[in-house]
Amino acid sequence: MSCLDDVEALRKADVHGMLAAYLRWADNLLEAAKRAEDISFPAEVRTRAGPIRYGEPDAVVIVGMGGSVVGGELLKDLTWDVVPVPVLVWRDYHMPAFAGPDTLVIAVSYSGNTEETLMAFSEALGRKCMIAAITSGGILGQLCKRLGIPVVEVPAGLKPRMALPYLFAPLPVLLEKLGLAKGLKGQVEEAAALLRHMAEDLGPDVPTARNKAKELASELKGTIPIVYGFGFFRSVAYRLKTQFNENSKVPSFYNWLPALNHDEVMGWEAEDALTKPFSVIFIRDRDEALEIRHRIEATKELVAGKASKVLELHALGSERLEKMLSVLYVGEMASLYLALARGVDPYAMASIDDIKEKLAVLGMAEKARARAEALVP
């Protein structure tokens, strides 16, 4: 019997209840979409820098860090061919030069205290960008309330990566409310229905022989996962890489086709001592384009003799978001099972917490608060 089939041991090891939290993602998606639906954009917000006037944006910049801003990456892949303006994800202290009064800036910080996000938020205020926010509170939530900036408040008490449905689902709804796209809220609802069905097959009570997430975790144990996506699965591949990092506590990497066929593929010519530690996961879709299918098969053939394992994750559903989140869900759950199989706590974030503590002496979050508060009328 697989160690992952000892249900009682799994539950004792998962002391922070992460498996249970991830199995609630379907409900979280719907709740978050409803919270965003209840938000209205004002005609104007007054600041000391001048009025922020809300209208139709010529660009969308989603500002955030880590697990908070992954939803922006998913949004880009979901909407790249339907939203008529650029959608950019920005991870930095400072806003890009083009951001101005016609730019919609959505600041996403689960805690509301992410120093990079707060600094960029204060810059966006000074440039009179149209601003909205998604947060559980903190400094960002307080500033938005004082200024009258639209904010989607989400429940507190989770790690940002656990809160992905809360941080992602408002984004497509907000774009739809601004008239930048149609049908996105419906896709969120359809994806939630699919995840609810999938959760029945991915929980700890389901044995490895019938549980795709446990099966994937078992295959990956003892190897370094590389996730290869394509098209609108690029953000999914990136997110899975981060979950193997954060939850499973293992090195992990990602790339996408066709780009990796022009550079990374050469790395597989290295001696076996360098390539054998890796397992490669190819994301697949029954509707994948013929040219992508041939690239995947050719790359699989090349990698098969070099990597430890070559695996596939197949998308479910018919709509784009269903496909994206179905692959993501299996991989997310696998990252938890891999952590528990390795005897590590998927909740702990020692290295990230250590870096945050060392940087806290700079007081950047408070400096950002002060800059933003100087613009409050």
Residue 145 is a catalytic residue? no
Residue 328 has pLDDT above 80, yes or no: yes
Residue 94 is a catalytic residue? no
pLDDT of residue 232: 97
Q: Domains of the chain, with CATH numbers?
A: 3-13+203-341 (3.40.50.10490), 24-185+357-373 (3.40.50.10490)
pLDDT of residue 105: 98
Using 50, 70 and 90 to split pLDDT, how confident is the model at 287? very high
Q: Which of 115, 176, 219, 246 is catalytic?
A: 246
For the chain, what's the residue count? 377
pLDDT in tens, 229-270: 999 999 999 999 999 999 999 999 999 999 999 999 999 999
CA–CA distance, 13 with 191 (Å, rounded to integer) = 30
Residue 262 is a catalytic residue? yes
SS3 content of the chain, % helix, strand, coil (to 5): 55, 15, 30
Rounded to the nearest 5 degrees, what angle is found at the Cα of 35, between the Cα atoms of 30 and 39?
140
Q: Which of 8, 262, 357, 358 is catalytic?
A: 262
pLDDT in tens, 149-189: 999 999 999 988 999 999 999 999 999 999 999 999 999 99
Sign of CA dihedral 222, 231, 65, 33: negative
Rounded to the nearest 5 degrees, what angle is found at the Cα of 93, between the Cα atoms of 249 and 109?
60
Q: Under 8 Å CB-to-CB from 305, ≥6 apart: which residues?
A: none
309 closest CA partner among 172, 197, 192, 215: 215
Residue 361 has pLDDT above 80, yes or no: no
pLDDT of residue 194: 98
Query: Do residues 56 and 69 touch, judged by C-beta distance below 8 A?
Result: no
User: What residue type is 287 in one-letter code?
Assistant: D
- DSSP secondary structure letter of residue 39: -
pLDDT of residue 352: 81
Using 50, 70 and 90 to split pLDDT, how confident is the model at 366? confident
pLDDT in tens, 118-146: 999 999 999 999 999 999 999 999 999 99
The single residue listed with the structure tokens 């974030």 is 349
pLDDT in tens, 26-52: 999 999 999 999 999 999 999 988 999
In order of 3, 19, 225, 318, the CA distances from 9 in angstroms are: 8, 13, 25, 37
Rounded to the nearest 5 degrees, what angle is found at the Cα of 320, between the Cα atoms of 317 and 166?
95
Residue 359 has pLDDT above 80, yes or no: no
pLDDT of residue 134: 98
pLDDT of residue 230: 98
